[in-house]
Amino acid sequence: MKTVPETFGSLVFGDRVMKSMLSAEVYASLKKTIDEGASLDIGVANAVAAAMKDWAVSKGATHFTHWFQPLTGITAEKHDSFISPSPDGGIIMEFSGKELIQGEPDASSFPSGGLRATFEARGYTAWDPTSYAFIKGKTLCIPTAFCSYGGHALDKKTPLLRSMEALNKQALRVLRLFGNTTAKCVRSYVGPEQEYFLISKEMYDARPDLRFTGRTLFGAKPPKGQEMDDHYFGAIKPRVAAFMDELNEELWKLGIMAKTEHNEVAPAQHELAPIYTTTNVSTDHNQLTMEIMQKIASKHGLVCLLHEKPFAGVNGSGKHNNWSVATDEGQNLLSPGETPYENAQFLLFLCAVIKAVDDYQDLLRISVATAGNDHRLGANEAPPAVISIFLGDELSAILEAIEKDEPYEGTKKTVMKLGVHVLPKFNRDTTDRNRTSPFAFTGNKFEFRMLGSSNSIAGANIIINAAVAESLKIYADRLEGAGDFETELHEMIKQTISDHKRIIFNGNGYDDAWIKEATEVRGLLNYRTTADCLPHILDRKNVEMLTAHKVFTVEEIESRCEIMLENYCKTVVIEANTMVDMAKTQIAPAVSAFAASLAGRAKVKKELDPSLYCSYEIDLVRTLSKLTDLIALRVDELQNALIVLHEAEDTEAESVMIRDIVLPAMCELRVACDEAETLTDKDFWPLPTYAEILFSVR
């Protein structure tokens, strides 16, 4: 049996393998490309490709693929074998630098949101040397970006890499002003905590709603849910433990540092957190993690649900995006440091994030907007749809003292001057951490908690990187032109605090009073649904910021908006159709059959003894008959709502109709069916119940 250090990263063409398999010159040249974005010449690419192929073949690989992340939500791959005919009639295993650098998948079957109409149908994939190649099954997977021949991004990686470059550029400008002449690059880092449900495959197979939509569209509240709080951090059940063991092993082989695993609040809910790494690699790793979770679950007779809200009334699943910025020399720019200069630099980066989150609340909300996540944001376990920042009382008090030029008690009653005084040590204890805040500062990083469990983390990080780059650009512009650096710095920090303190909130984000204060007093945005927020991606200030930093072109923003709206509409329409089908062919017939059986039993009893009331049976028959009539009515209403959708002029209008007509009709149908479930004999009920599903894995 091999130890973890022996198998860790064994399926990754990582730094260690590169060093041992490439010549010193080729390695140095590749390293320069990885670290500094230098362009790669074909000679080097050929040498890397040959080494990659030899390594992959030695691990049993026969094929290679350009692995990419189209706008469908999952990853895509098309396998080509290494096999090439040789002159003597045999075969050789070949892989050229050209094949490594560029591929040409047929772009026409991937969503392009209108880009295809104006540009070419063809697209190409381009190697991303900053994310290591790896082996999955018998295939060497090469992480790539995916673009149209017109140069438009058709994927999630391209804008993510662009946003990292924008942040790098502006952060370096600021660092130079602080006298840092040695840092070569600044990157953002992310550690995403992934929540998921594990249920038994048998239960899953018996529920068309889970199979078609990933969530239960019906289901009465079980007698026991999460109210006892006895699942969180509880002992992990043997079947789940076996799943986690195998999952860890597979992730480790791929160099994914899965670190913590525990039960979550809801029954059958769990969490996995890896150790943080660069945002780009972390995004690739999170996509792989989600894929491998589902694969390993099925080997164990389980199904891994990544939907944001698989069960009504039970906590949904999110993803916590822990984000920081650091230099290639290892300095975390969100860490307060020790000296007055480090403190001042920290405060400026902190302010850059505060300003970014306030100025681009809408984009952050949009970056996590899906039909699934709408069920979670604003429900009582997730952060609300209103975005705010938690800083903790001490850091907030320091900022307030700076804003007002007042003494802060930790500074021995002196008025703080940035760049001169040392910041008081503030409490970085995590015990009093606010868990309800959508965007929380946790000592040396920010935790953005609005992501849904199935979201790619690319979307949110594109926006965080770009918006922070924008704040830093404004700061750098001012500081570069300033007469006295320290005075200007002090003024700028003061101004940021006074302009953006409305976004800082240290209280309970679930509280209704907060939502009222946030929206009515502070003027913060509250986009409750995807239909509400998505069109705002096209607001002028957003388009200007994203295009100025070359993260997106105008056409790319328009196309993404269209694709996201379309996804929202399609998702809900599939759910509605599934509900109609289940209500008509499973639920109504079951309730009716049970009522008929009751009526039959009443009849038999009455024949036996006409003086019997049989009120249990007869009353229930009446109630159930009324309910089946109501179900039939609600089905009609929902079907009519779906028909009305055809009148929508465009996708935006359709999304509004979905929000206002279809989703409410789905709720009404569900209420009637869930009521029927509570009255129907279990032997007649055609679906596994919530209690059966949630407590199915032991």
Binding site for ligand ADP (CB under 6 A): 189-191, 193, 273-276, 322-324, 332, 430, 442, 444-445
What CA–CA distance (Å, rounded) separates 83 from 12? 21
Q: Which tokens go with 318?
A: 């999110």
Shorter beta-carbon distance to Mg ion: residue 320 or 670:
320
Shorter beta-carbon distance to ligand ADP: residue 274 or 316:
274
Could you tell me if 153 and 111 are in contact, meaning their C-beta atoms sit under 8 angstroms apart? no
Could you tell me if 338 and 350 are in contact, meaning their C-beta atoms sit under 8 angstroms apart? no
| From ligand ADP, Mg ion, none, interface partner of 189 (C-beta below 5 to 8 A by class) | ligand ADP
Shorter beta-carbon distance to ligand ADP: residue 256 or 423:
256
| From ligand ADP, Mg ion, none, interface partner of 274 (C-beta below 5 to 8 A by class) | ligand ADP
What CA–CA distance (Å, rounded) separates 435 from 19? 43
The residue type at 292: I
Min dist. Cβ of residue 307 to ligand ADP (A): 22
Q: Which of positions 603-622 make contact with Mg ion (CB under 5 A)?
A: none
- Residue 515 belongs to what H/E stretch? helix 512-516
Strand ranges (E), 418-544: 439-441, 446-452
| From Mg ion, ligand ADP, none, interface partner of 611 (C-beta below 5 to 8 A by class) | none
Q: Which tokens go with 619?
A: 């009353």
| From Mg ion, ligand ADP, none, interface partner of 214 (C-beta below 5 to 8 A by class) | none
Closest listed residue to residue 77, CA positions, set 121, 110, 42? 110
Angle between the N-to-C axes of helices 157-177 and 279-299, in degrees from 0 to 180, rounded to the nearest 10: 140
Min dist. Cβ of residue 178 to ligand ADP (A): 20
Strand ranges (E), 217-346: 258-263, 269-274, 277-278, 302-305, 318-327
Shorter beta-carbon distance to ligand ADP: residue 286 or 542:
286
The residue type at 104: E
Min dist. Cβ of residue 452 to ligand ADP (A): 17
Shorter beta-carbon distance to ligand ADP: residue 118 or 260:
260
Shorter beta-carbon distance to ligand ADP: residue 332 or 625:
332
The b/e string for 174-188 (b: 16+ C-beta within 10 A; e otherwise) is bbebeebeebebbbb
What CA–CA distance (Å, rounded) separates 639 from 622? 26
Min dist. Cβ of residue 433 to ligand ADP (A): 7
3-state secondary structure of 527: coil
Min dist. Cβ of residue 175 to ligand ADP (A): 17
Could you tell me if 497 and 351 are in contact, meaning their C-beta atoms sit under 8 angstroms apart? yes
Min dist. Cβ of residue 20 to ligand ADP (A): 28
Min dist. Cβ of residue 338 to ligand ADP (A): 17
Residue at token pair 């790896």: 134
What CA–CA distance (Å, rounded) separates 534 from 544? 16
Q: How far is CA 537 from the centre of its chain?
A: 18
Shorter beta-carbon distance to ligand ADP: residue 332 or 623:
332
| From Mg ion, ligand ADP, none, interface partner of 276 (C-beta below 5 to 8 A by class) | ligand ADP
Shorter beta-carbon distance to ligand ADP: residue 19 or 259:
259
- Binding to Mg ion by CB under 5 A, coded x per residue (else -) over 320-359, reads x---------------------------------------
Min dist. Cβ of residue 48 to ligand ADP (A): 29
Shorter beta-carbon distance to ligand ADP: residue 191 or 383:
191
Shorter beta-carbon distance to Mg ion: residue 162 or 320:
320
Shorter beta-carbon distance to Mg ion: residue 29 or 315:
315
Q: What single-letter DSSP state applies at residue 410?
A: G
Min dist. Cβ of residue 273 to ligand ADP (A): 4
Q: How far apart are the first and last CA of the chain?
A: 28
CA angle 6, 8, 14 (to 5 degrees): 110
Distances (CA, A) of 236 to 270, 387, 692: 9, 34, 19
What CA–CA distance (Å, rounded) separates 378 from 365? 12
Shorter beta-carbon distance to ligand ADP: residue 309 or 445:
445
| From ligand ADP, Mg ion, none, interface partner of 324 (C-beta below 5 to 8 A by class) | ligand ADP
| From ligand ADP, Mg ion, none, interface partner of 275 (C-beta below 5 to 8 A by class) | ligand ADP
| From ligand ADP, Mg ion, none, interface partner of 318 (C-beta below 5 to 8 A by class) | none
Min dist. Cβ of residue 321 to ligand ADP (A): 9
Task: Report if residue 136 touches Mg ion, rule: CB under 5 A.
Answer: no
Min dist. Cβ of residue 88 to ligand ADP (A): 53
Could you tell me if 262 and 193 are in contact, meaning their C-beta atoms sit under 8 angstroms apart? no
Shorter beta-carbon distance to Mg ion: residue 264 or 532:
264
| From ligand ADP, Mg ion, none, interface partner of 190 (C-beta below 5 to 8 A by class) | ligand ADP
Min dist. Cβ of residue 259 to ligand ADP (A): 7
Min dist. Cβ of residue 274 to Mg ion (A): 12
Q: How many amino acids of this chain bind Mg ion (CB under 5 A)?
A: 1
Q: What is the DSSP string of 186-202?
A: EEEEEEEEEEEEEEEHH
| From ligand ADP, Mg ion, none, interface partner of 215 (C-beta below 5 to 8 A by class) | none
- Binding to Mg ion by CB under 5 A, coded x per residue (else -) over 277-316, reads ----------------------------------------
Q: Which tokens go with 475?
A: 């700061």
The residue number with the shortest CB distance to ligand ADP is: 191
Q: Which residues contact 97 (CB under 8 A, 6 or more apart)?
A: 42, 43, 44, 45, 46, 47, 48, 49
Could you tell me if 455 and 365 are in contact, meaning their C-beta atoms sit under 8 angstroms apart? no
| From Mg ion, ligand ADP, none, interface partner of 273 (C-beta below 5 to 8 A by class) | ligand ADP
| From Mg ion, ligand ADP, none, interface partner of 375 (C-beta below 5 to 8 A by class) | none
What CA–CA distance (Å, rounded) separates 234 from 339? 43
Shorter beta-carbon distance to ligand ADP: residue 306 or 658:
306
The residue number with the shortest CB distance to Mg ion is: 320
| From ligand ADP, Mg ion, none, interface partner of 283 (C-beta below 5 to 8 A by class) | none
| From ligand ADP, Mg ion, none, interface partner of 191 (C-beta below 5 to 8 A by class) | ligand ADP
Min dist. Cβ of residue 449 to Mg ion (A): 7
Shorter beta-carbon distance to ligand ADP: residue 364 or 524:
364
Q: Which residues contact 350 (CB under 8 A, 6 or more apart)?
A: 334, 395, 441
Query: Do the bridges between strand 186-200 and strand 139-148 make them parallel or antiparallel, or are there none, so unpaired?
Result: unpaired
Q: Which tokens go with 589?
A: 């017939």
Min dist. Cβ of residue 447 to ligand ADP (A): 6
Q: What is the DSSP string of 323-344?
A: EEEEETT--BTTS--SSHHHHH
Could you tell me if 323 and 448 are in contact, meaning their C-beta atoms sit under 8 angstroms apart? yes
Instruction: List phi, psi (to 5°) of 105.
Output: -75, 155
Shorter beta-carbon distance to Mg ion: residue 431 or 611:
431
Q: What single-letter DSSP state applies at residue 70?
A: B
Min dist. Cβ of residue 524 to ligand ADP (A): 24
Residue 354 burial (C-beta neighbours within 10 Å; 0-12, 13-18, 19+)? buried
What CA–CA distance (Å, rounded) separates 593 from 603? 15
Rule CB under 5 A: which residues touch Mg ion?
320
